[in-house]
C-alpha cells in the first residue's frame, strides 16, 4: 500500500502525499528514513521492521476509488452568487486594467437588464451579489440600488472599487447595513507603486476614503494585484494596511489581459518567498491574507476531500455590461465564452448554455498531465480563469499552480513543526488532525473565483459563508481522528484549539 505515497520536500521537511485520495503526512527524521527504505523496496534492518510495520499500519485506509471527475458527483441546485460587471467606465485609467477601463469607455449595463438579472438571480437562490466594472460607483443610482437589495437581510453585497468616490456617496453609504455590505478596495502598493499604476493623487484619495469608511464602521478588504512593481513590497503593504486598521487583504494574481501585460507578470517562484514574508508580517500584525487562509482550509480538511476546480457555472455566473452572461468576472467580454443574452432568461442560460455545461463537465482530471501534480486535489487543480486567459483552455494551464503548491507545502511543514517531538520514528502530523475547513460532507469541494475570496469582515471565506457552519469552533472537527490515533498525544490540546477551524454562522 505504501507505493501510493509520494515523497515531497519543503525546505528539508519531508511531506508524503497520496495524490489520488488525497491525503498527506509529515514524519520525523527516523520515520522518514524508514519510509524511504520502503519506497526503495529495501528491507529495514533488524529491530526496525516492527517500527516500519507500526508506521505503515497507521496509514491504513481504504484505497482511493476511481474518480470519474466532478460532474457525476455534483448537482446543479441553487445559484449562490451572481456578478454584475456594471460598466466599463471608470474614473481612472490604470496601466494594468484587465478591461482597459477609463472615463472614455461607454459600455454600461441597462438599468432594466440589471433589475431583471437581480430578480432572476434571487429567484434562483442567489444571496451574494458582486458589483464590479470599471468603477461601480460611477453607475447611475448605484448606492440606492444596493440599499434596496440589502433590505432583505439574507442578501450580501460585495463591491470591487478603487475607493475614490466614497466621499461623494457618504450620506447614502451611511444608511447601509455594515454586516451585509463588503467593500474590496484596490491598492497597488505603497504611494510610489500605487500612483505609478493609477495616477497622481490616487494614493492620497484612497487614504482619505479608508479613513472615512473606517469612521463609518465599514469592514474592508484591500485587494493587491501582484505584479513586477509591487511583488517585493508585499510585506510592507501588509504592514501599511495594518497601520490603517485593515485586517483583511486579498492578493490578486495578475492576468495578462487588456492592459495587463506580460511584462507585469511575476513567475510563481519569485512570488512565493515574498508571499511567505507577507504572511509572516500578517501574522505579526494581526492581518489575514485571505488567499493563504483559503488554501489552508483546503489543505487542513478531511482526508479524501477532492478540491476540483472552481464553483464557476455550478454556483456562480457573471453578467457583462453588454447584457450577456459569461462564466466569471474575469472572462467578461470574451466572445467565445458568451453563454447567452440575459434576455433569454438567467435560469435558462444557467441550466442550458453549452458553454456553462462544458465547464461543469470539466474536471481537473481532463488536463493531459494532471497526474504530474501530486497536490492537485489539495490545491484544486488551478483557476479556470487563469488557465483560460493563459492558454485558451479551461484546465491545466493556470500559471500560478506552482505557487499554490509551494504555499501548501510551506503551510503543512510549518504546522508540523509546531508540536514537540516526544518519541522517535513517529508521524508528526497527518491530514485531518488539524482542521480549518467547514465541511459540507461531499467528496468534491469547489474552490472560489480568485477575484474575491473572502467577505470583508475579516472572518469568513466565501466558501465558509456557503457552508453555513457552526457559530463556534466545533470540538469534533478540531481533530476528528484523535481518539483512534496514538499520535494524537503528540499534539498539545492547546495547539489544536489555536489552530481550530474558523467556522462562523452568518446570522441572516
Ligand atoms: S483597474 Fe479598476 S480602477 Fe483601474 S481603470 Fe480598471 S476598473 Fe478602473
List domains and CATH numbers for the chain.
Answer: 77-508 (3.20.20.70)
**Best of 83, 100, 135 for a ligand 1 pocket test (most atoms within 8 Å of beta carbon):** 135
196-235 confidence digits (pLDDT tens): 999 999 999 999 999 999 999 998 999 999 999 999 999 9
Residue 475 confidence class, pLDDT cut points 50, 70, 90? very low
Separation CA 288–CA 285 (nearest Å):
9
Residues with CB under 6 A from ligand 1: 90, 92-94, 97, 101, 133-135, 162, 186
Ligand 1 centre from 256 Cα, in Å? 15
Among the residue ranges 33-37, 122-126, 316-320, 324-328, the one predicted with the least confidence is 33-37
23-60 confidence digits (pLDDT tens): 999 999 999 999 999 888 887 776 788 888 899 888 87
**Best of 97, 161, 163 for a ligand 1 pocket test (most atoms within 8 Å of beta carbon):** 97
384-399 confidence digits (pLDDT tens): 999 999 999 999 999 9
Ligand 1 centre from 133 Cα, in Å? 8
Bond before 300 cis per omega within 30 degrees: no
Are 428 and 289 within 8 A, CB to CB? no
The atom number, within ligand 1, closest to the CA of 91 reads 8
Among protein residues, the one with the nearest Cα to ligand 1's atom 7 is 134
Are 378 and 408 within 8 A, CB to CB? yes
pLDDT value at residue 484: 35
Beta pairing, strands 427-430 & 23-27: antiparallel
> What SS3 state is found at 479?
coil
Separation CA 315–CA 379 (nearest Å):
19
What counts of helices (H) and strands (E) characterise the chain? 18, 16
What is the residue whose three cell numbers read 488536463? 367
SS (H, E, C) 171-237: HHHHCCCHHHEEEEEECCCCHHHHHHHHCCCHHHHHHHHHHHHHHHCCCEEEEEEECCCCHHHHHHH
pLDDT value at residue 72: 97
pLDDT above 90 covers a percentage of the chain that reads 77
Among protein residues, the one with the nearest Cα to ligand 1's atom 1 is 97
Task: Identify the CA nearest to 455 among candidates 464, 447, 443.
Answer: 464
Ligand 1 centre from 96 Cα, in Å? 8
Separation CA 114–CA 482 (nearest Å):
51
pLDDT at 318 over 80: yes
Task: Identify the CA nearest to 268 among candidates 402, 370, 408, 165.
Answer: 402
440: its cell numbers: 459540507
Ligand 1 centre from 406 Cα, in Å? 30
pLDDT value at residue 461: 61
pLDDT value at residue 443: 83
C-beta contacts of 459-462 below 8 A and 24+ residues apart: 459/502, 459/504, 460/502, 460/504, 460/506, 461/290, 461/293, 461/294, 461/297, 462/81, 462/128
Ligand 1 centre from 403 Cα, in Å? 25
Ligand 1 centre from 483 Cα, in Å? 52
Separation CA 82–CA 122 (nearest Å):
9
* Number of neighbouring beta carbons within 10 Å of residue 95: 16
Among protein residues, the one with the nearest Cα to ligand 1's atom 3 is 162
Are 258 and 214 within 8 A, CB to CB? no
Ligand 1 centre from 94 Cα, in Å? 5
By CB atoms closer than 10 A (0-12, 13-18, 19+), residue 306 is: buried
Beta pairing, strands 316-319 & 306-310: unpaired
**Best of 101, 184, 187, 193 for a ligand 1 pocket test (most atoms within 8 Å of beta carbon):** 101
Separation CA 267–CA 250 (nearest Å):
18
Ligand 1 centre from 90 Cα, in Å? 6
Ligand 1 centre from 140 Cα, in Å? 17
Distances (CA, A) of 324 to 157, 396, 397: 21, 27, 26
Task: Identify the CA nearest to 162 among candidates 245, 101, 214.
Answer: 101
Ligand 1 centre from 92 Cα, in Å? 6
First-to-last alpha carbon distance for the chain, in angstroms, is 47
The atom number, within ligand 1, closest to the CA of 93 reads 5
Mean pLDDT rounded to a whole number for the chain = 88
158-205 confidence digits (pLDDT tens): 999 999 999 999 999 999 999 999 999 999 999 999 999 999 999 999
pLDDT value at residue 478: 38
Separation CA 30–CA 264 (nearest Å):
45
pLDDT value at residue 440: 61
350-384 confidence digits (pLDDT tens): 999 999 999 999 999 999 899 999 999 999 999 99
Task: Identify the CA nearest to 441 among candidates 480, 391, 401, 414.
Answer: 480
Task: Identify the CA nearest to 338 among candidates 316, 312, 320, 357.
Answer: 320
Ligand 1 centre from 22 Cα, in Å? 39
Among the residue ranges 33-47, 85-99, 108-122, 444-458, the one predicted with the least confidence is 444-458
The more confidently predicted of residues 466 and 222 is 222
pLDDT at 491 over 80: no
**Best of 131, 132, 162 for a ligand 1 pocket test (most atoms within 8 Å of beta carbon):** 162
47: its cell numbers: 529491530
**Best of 84, 91, 99, 130 for a ligand 1 pocket test (most atoms within 8 Å of beta carbon):** 99
Strand partners, 8: 15
Among protein residues, the one with the nearest Cα to ligand 1's atom 4 is 94
Average pLDDT over residues 454-475: 50
Average pLDDT over residues 483-499: 35
147: its cell numbers: 440599499
pLDDT value at residue 61: 77
The atom number, within ligand 1, closest to the CA of 133 reads 7
Task: Identify the CA nearest to 154 among candidates 447, 465, 459.
Answer: 465
The atom number, within ligand 1, closest to the CA of 160 reads 2
Separation CA 333–CA 87 (nearest Å):
12
Ligand 1 centre from 238 Cα, in Å? 21
The more confidently predicted of residues 495 and 299 is 299
Are 253 and 96 within 8 A, CB to CB? no
CB burial of 286-303 (b: ≥16 within 10 Å; e: otherwise) equals ebbbbbbbbbbbbbbbbb
Among protein residues, the one with the nearest Cα to ligand 1's atom 6 is 97
**Planar angle of CA 476, 478, 481, nearest 5 degrees:** 70
Ligand 1 centre from 18 Cα, in Å? 42
Task: Identify the CA nearest to 435 among candidates 385, 396, 488.
Answer: 488
The atom number, within ligand 1, closest to the CA of 90 reads 8
SS (H, E, C) 409-469: HHHHHHHHCCCCCCCCCCEEEECCCCCCCCCCCCCEEEECCCCCCECCCCCCEHHHHHHCC
Amino acid at each position: 500500500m505504501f507505493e501510493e505515497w509520494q515523497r515531497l520536500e519543503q525546505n528539508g521537511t519531508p511531506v508524503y502525499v497520496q495524490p489520488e485520495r488525497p491525503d498527506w503526512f509529515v514524519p520525523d527524521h527516523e520515520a522518514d528514513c524508514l519510509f524511504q527504505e520502503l519506497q526503495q523496496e529495501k528491507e529495514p534492518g533488524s529491530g526496525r521492521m516492527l517500527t516500519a510495520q507500526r508506521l505503515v499500519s497507521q496509514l491504513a485506509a481504504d484505497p482511493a476509488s476511481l474518480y470519474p471527475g466532478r460532474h457525476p458527483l455534483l448537482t446543479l441546485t441553487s445559484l449562490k452568487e451572481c456578478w454584475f460587471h456594471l460598466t466599463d467606465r471608470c474614473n481612472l485609467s490604470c496601466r494594468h486594467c484587465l478591461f482597459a477601463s477609463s472615463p472614455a469607455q461607454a459600455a454600461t449595463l441597462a438599468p432594466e437588464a440589471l433589475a431583471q438579472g437581480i430578480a432572476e438571480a434571487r429567484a434562483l437562490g442567489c444571496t451574494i451579489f458582486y458589483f464590479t466594472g470599471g468603477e461601480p460607483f460611477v453607475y447611475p443610482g448605484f448606492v440606492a440600488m444596493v440599499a434596496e437589495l440589502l433590505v432583505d437581510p439574507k442578501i450580501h453585497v460585495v463591491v470591487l472599487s478603487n475607493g475614490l468616490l466614497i466621499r461623494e456617496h457618504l450620506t447614502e453609504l451611511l444608511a447601509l447595513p455594515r454586516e451585509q455590505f463588503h467593500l474590496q478596495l484596490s491598492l497597488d502598493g505603497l504611494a510610489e507603486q500605487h500612483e505609478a499604476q493609477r495616477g497622481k493623487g490616487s494614493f492620497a484619495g484612497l487614504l482619505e476614503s479608508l479613513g472615512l469608511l473606517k469612521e463609518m464602521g465599514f469592514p474592508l478588504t484591500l485587494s493587491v494585484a501582484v505584479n513586477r512593481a509591487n511583488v517585493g513590497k508585499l510585506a510592507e503593504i501588509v504592514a501599511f494596511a495594518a497601520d490603517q486598521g485593515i485586517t483583511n487583504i486579498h492578493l490578486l494574481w495578475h492576468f495578462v489581459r487588456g492592459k495587463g501585460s506580460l511584462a507585469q507578470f511575476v513567475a510563481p517562484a519569485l512570488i512565493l518567498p515574498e508571499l511567505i514574508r507577507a504572511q509572516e508580517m500578517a501574522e505579526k500584525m494581526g492581518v489575514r491574507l485571505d488567499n493563504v487562509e483559503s488554501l489552508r482550509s483546503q489543505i487542513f480538511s478531511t482526508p479524501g476531500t477532492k478540491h476540483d476546480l472552481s464553483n464557476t457555472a455550478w454556483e456562480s455566473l457573471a453578467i457583462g455590461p453588454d447584457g450577456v452572461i459569461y462564466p466569471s468576472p474575469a472572462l467578461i467580454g470574451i466572445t467565445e465564452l458568451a453563454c447567452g443574452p440575459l434576455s433569454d432568461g438567467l435560469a435558462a442560460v444557467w441550466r442550458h448554455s453549452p458553454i456553462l455545461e462544458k465547464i461543469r463537465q470539466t474536471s481537473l482530471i481532463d488536463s493531459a498531465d494532471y497526474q504530474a501534480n501530486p497536490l492537485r486535489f489539495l490545491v484544486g487543480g488551478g483557476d479556470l480563469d487563469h488557465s483560460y486567459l493563459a492558454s485558451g483552455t479551461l484546465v491545466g494551464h493556470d500559471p500560478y499552480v506552482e505557487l499554490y503548491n509551494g504555499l501548501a507545502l510551506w503551510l503543512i511543514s510549518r504546522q508540523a513543526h509546531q508540536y514537540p517531538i516526544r518519541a522517535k520514528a513517529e508521524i508528526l502530523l497527518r491530514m485531518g488532525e488539524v482542521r480549518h475547513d467547514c465541511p459540507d460532507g461531499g467528496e468534491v469541494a469547489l474552490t472560489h473565483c480568485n477575484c474575491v475570496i473572502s467577505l470583508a469582515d475579516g472572518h469568513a471565506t466565501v466558501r465558509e459563508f456557503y457552508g453555513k457552519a457552526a457559530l463556534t469552533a466545533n470540538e469534533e472537527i478540531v481533530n476528528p481522528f484523535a481518539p483512534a490515533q496514538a499520535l494524537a498525544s503528540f499534539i498539545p490540546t492547546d495547539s489544536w484549539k489555536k489552530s481550530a477551524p474558523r467556522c462562523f454562522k452568518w446570522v441572516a
